[in-house]
Structures are given as structure tokens and as C-alpha cells.
Amino acid sequence: MDITAEMVKELRLSTGVGILDCRKALQVAEGDFDKAVDYLREKGLAKAAKRMSREAKDGMIASYIHAGGRIGVLVEVNCETDFVARTEEYKAMVNEIAMQIAAMSPKYVQREDIPETVLEHERALYRAQTLEEGKPEHVVDRIVEGRLNKFYEEVCLLEQAYIRDDSKKIDDLIKEAINKTGENIVIRRFARFELGESLGE
């Protein structure tokens, strides 16, 4: 089947992947658009996984001030080279992440950062709630794990739904950027300040 420039353009707009990769995907999928998307996703995720093991020491620290100076965010997002860090796309992505932190107030970058004492406390709380609701003992653990996953989605930046497109998580945003830039990208750390919040929070 002939792969037209229009088909390649449509796939590129939909996936953000380069022209040559889009053409190859359409050839492999024999012109089937959905199959071509799946092919690129599989290939892209494999690329992203490989890149995520590489060291990222460059990047930028961005600040974002919101609500008339009532909320402020500092975030460090690392990549592998200064070349990528200076691009407008990279700066825009880092700014989006800072806005996400301002809006959604995560506590940690990823679930691995949560102290075990906090997890134990949450588990005990969910277990007590579940038993109080009269759920049978044999399903309690499963319900507790489900509620713990909801907790991760609230407090972990990478697991939060993206404020501009809730079909994506912040982790998806990072993986897309890894595929586009060809570099590993890591959200290293952040701090969020809200006027008047207590120091103990």
C-alpha cells in the first residue's frame, strides 16, 4: 500500500514522533492508523525505558508564582545536556510541571519517596475505615490497596492526572518528552510555598 505524505503528517501530529519513524510505522501496519500508533507506542516506551537508565545532570530550576503571589513553586527538572535544557519546548514542559505543583499540591515526586511510617499510618487508617464499613475480612486487604493507590495519585507528582489533560499522568508527560528529546528527563525535587500555611504542614 502507498503511504502518502498526508498519512505521515496525520500520524506525526497525533503522536509527536519523527517523520521517518511515522512512515516506518505506517509501512509495518500496512496503512492502518491505529496499528501504527500502537507500534510507535510500543517502540517509544521501549526507547523511553532505555533512556531512563541514563544519568541526567543538566536541566533547569524553574520558579512559578500563582494567585497574586499567594503560591510559589521551585522545581528542578534534569536532562542530559545543556542543548536540550535551552530549548523552548523543554522550558515550557518544566513550567507546566511547576504549574501542576502549584495547582495540585503534591507532597512527593514518586511513591518510592514516601516514608514507610507514612504508608503504615495510611494503611492502618484505611484498614480501620474498611472494617468500620462492615466489609468482610477476606476483601479488606484488596480494598486497602485500592485506597492506597488513590492516595498515591493524590500525593505523588508523577501519578497525578495532568491538569491540562486528565487522560494523561505527569509520568506520561515526562515519557513523551524523553521520546521527543532522546534524553533521559527526571523531576529531581520541588518545593511548594503557600502564604499563611503553618510550618508543620
pLDDT (tens digit, 9 = 90+) per residue, 50-59? 666 677 889 9
**Which CATH code for domain 115-154?**
1.10.286
Q: Where in the sequence of the chain do the CATH 1.10.8.10 domains occur?
A: 5-51
- Return the CATH superfamily for domain 58-109+156-194: Elongation factor Ts, dimerisation domain (3.30.479.20)
| Contact by Cβ (8 Å): 56, 46 | no
Please report the pLDDT score of residue 48 as a whole number. Answer: 64
Better-predicted residue by pLDDT, 13 or 134: 134
For residues 174-191, average pLDDT? 93
Q: What is the pLDDT of residue 16?
A: 63
- What pLDDT is attached to residue 75? 98
Fold annotation for 5-51 = Helicase, Ruva Protein; domain 3 (1.10.8)
- Alpha carbon distances (Å) from 101 to 7, 45, 88, 152, 154: 37, 25, 20, 15, 11
Q: Which residues of 158-197 are buried (b: 16+ CB within 10 A; e: fewer)?
A: bbbebeeeeeebbbebbbbbbbbbebbbbbeebebeeeee
Q: Please, which pLDDT band fits residue 138 given cuts at 50, 70 and 90?
A: confident
Q: What is the pLDDT of residue 51?
A: 67
- pTM of the model as a whole: 0.71
Domain(s) labelled CATH 3.30.479.20 in the chain stretch across: 58-109+156-194
Grade residue 12 by pLDDT with cuts at 50, 70 and 90.
confident
H or E segment to which residue 130 belongs? helix 116-132
Confidence of residue 15 (pLDDT cuts 50, 70, 90): low
Which tens digit of pLDDT belongs to each residue from 55-87? 788 999 999 998 789 999 999 999 999 999 999
Q: What are phi and psi of 9, to 5 degrees?
A: -60, -45
Q: What is the pLDDT of residues 89-106, one digit of tens each?
A: 999 999 999 999 999 999
Asked whether the predicted pLDDT for residue 45 surpasses 60, the reply is: no
